[in-house]
């Protein structure tokens, strides 16, 4: 019996950043110099691979409990759903995050920003969506930090997300931002997404239902893999 597979719909123009965004200077050094060649999807791209999740630990989703003490900063909950292009939940898919600490510094040797390192915060977490495509992280709100893109440049507070989806065509790396951040209009990375409506899909929203009384504010961030309502790529 022949198997007919539905190829994912490509998002419309403007959802994802162009490969070369002059205001985002490092894209000049890493984008392809030749026109891309569109290759039709085959069975392997549409059905696999299947990633194993055996190494996920009991506190991998809680970045505030991965060390002997609690990290400094404003504790927050980030939760949402992972959906496909038709709005259906994507269950049992790997979601990974990484971020700065509350002072705006990554736990990485190449980060030379003169902000303190928090010994109780590594800044990385992972989880797997449930049957309804839901995920949940507990962390601290990341700080803004300077970078060398242009004079007096600062990145707004953000959390990096990596999702594998269910196959190669739904691989996504993006960034989540916080509502009302005054640095957003000035940020070349956020504004590299041409479509203003698509940029709004990079913003989390404050959610009182996710907020835990006396403990942590909640932010909702739903992620759509491909399609007209796709969450934009951000690297």
Burial of 43 (0-12, 13-18, 19+ CB in 10 A): exposed
Task: Provide the mean pLDDT of the chain.
Answer: 88
- pLDDT tens readout for residues 166-212: 666 678 999 999 999 999 999 999 999 999 999 999 999 999 999 99
Given the residues 61, 81, 126, 158, the one annotated as active site: 158
Given the residues 106, 135, 177, 219, the one annotated as active site: 106
Q: Which of 225, 147, 223, 215 is nearest to 187 (CA)?
A: 147
Which one is predicted more confidently, 37 or 167? 37
**107: Cβ contacts below 8 Å, ≥ 6 apart:** 101, 117, 121, 122, 123
- 113 is a catalytic site residue: no
Given a cut of 90, whether residue 156 has pLDDT beyond it is: yes
- 135 is a catalytic site residue: no
Given a cut of 90, whether residue 122 has pLDDT beyond it is: yes
Q: Is 98:153 a contact under the CB 8 Å cutoff?
A: no
Given the residues 81, 105, 126, 155, the one annotated as active site: 155
Given the residues 61, 105, 126, 160, the one annotated as active site: 160
Q: Which two tokens stand for residue 211?
A: 């907020």
Average pLDDT over residues 113-124: 96
pLDDT band for position 10 (cuts 50, 70, 90): low
Q: How far is C-alpha 228 from the geometric centre of its chain's CA atoms?
A: 18
Burial of 147 (0-12, 13-18, 19+ CB in 10 A): middle
Given a cut of 70, whether residue 147 has pLDDT beyond it is: yes
pLDDT band for position 50 (cuts 50, 70, 90): low
Given the residues 145, 199, 219, 226, the one annotated as active site: 145
Whether omega for the bond prior to residue 170 falls within 30 degrees of 0, making it cis, is no
pLDDT at 37: 82
Average pLDDT over residues 57-83: 97
Beta bridge partners of 177: 158, 203
pLDDT at 1: 44
Containing 196, the helix (H) or strand (E) segment is: helix 196-200
- 16 is a catalytic site residue: no
DSSP 83-138: E-TTS-B--S-EEEEE---TTS--SSTT---SS---TT---EEEEE--TTSEEEEE
d(C-alpha 27, C-alpha 25), whole Å:
5
- 177 is a catalytic site residue: no
Which one is predicted more confidently, 97 or 32? 97
Given a cut of 90, whether residue 43 has pLDDT beyond it is: no
d(C-alpha 119, C-alpha 138), whole Å:
17
Given a cut of 50, whether residue 3 has pLDDT beyond it is: no
Given a cut of 70, whether residue 4 has pLDDT beyond it is: no
pLDDT band for position 30 (cuts 50, 70, 90): confident
pLDDT at 51: 62
- 160 is a catalytic site residue: yes
């Amino acid at each position: 019996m022949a198997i007919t597979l539905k190829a994912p719909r490509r998002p419309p123009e403007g959802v994802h950043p162009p490969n070369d965004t002059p205001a985002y200077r490092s894209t000049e050094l890493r984008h392809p110099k030749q026109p891309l060649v569109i290759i039709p999807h085959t069975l392997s791209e549409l059905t696999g691979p299947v990633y194993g999740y055996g190494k996920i630990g009991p506190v991998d989703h809680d970045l505030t409990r991965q060390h002997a003490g609690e990290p400094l900063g404003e504790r927050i909950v980030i939760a949402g759903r992972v959906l496909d292009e038709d709005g259906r939940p994507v269950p049992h898919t790997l979601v990974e995050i990484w971020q700065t600490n509350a002072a705006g510094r990554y736990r990485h040797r190449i980060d030379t920003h003169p902000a303190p390192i928090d010994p109780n915060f590594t800044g990385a977490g992972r989880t797997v969506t449930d049957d309804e495509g839901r995920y949940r992280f507990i962390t601290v709100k990341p700080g803004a930090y300077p970078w060398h893109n242009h004079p007096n440049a600062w990145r707004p507070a953000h959390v990096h997300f990596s999702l594998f989806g269910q196959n190669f065509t739904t691989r996504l790396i993006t960034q989540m931002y916080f509502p009302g951040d005054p640095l957003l209009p000035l940020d070349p990375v956020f504004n590299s997404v041409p479509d203003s409506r698509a940029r709004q899909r990079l913003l989390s929203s404050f959610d009182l239902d996710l907020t835990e009384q006396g403990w942590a504010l909640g932010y909702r961030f739903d992620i759509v893999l491909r399609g007209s309502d796709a969450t934009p790529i951000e690297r």
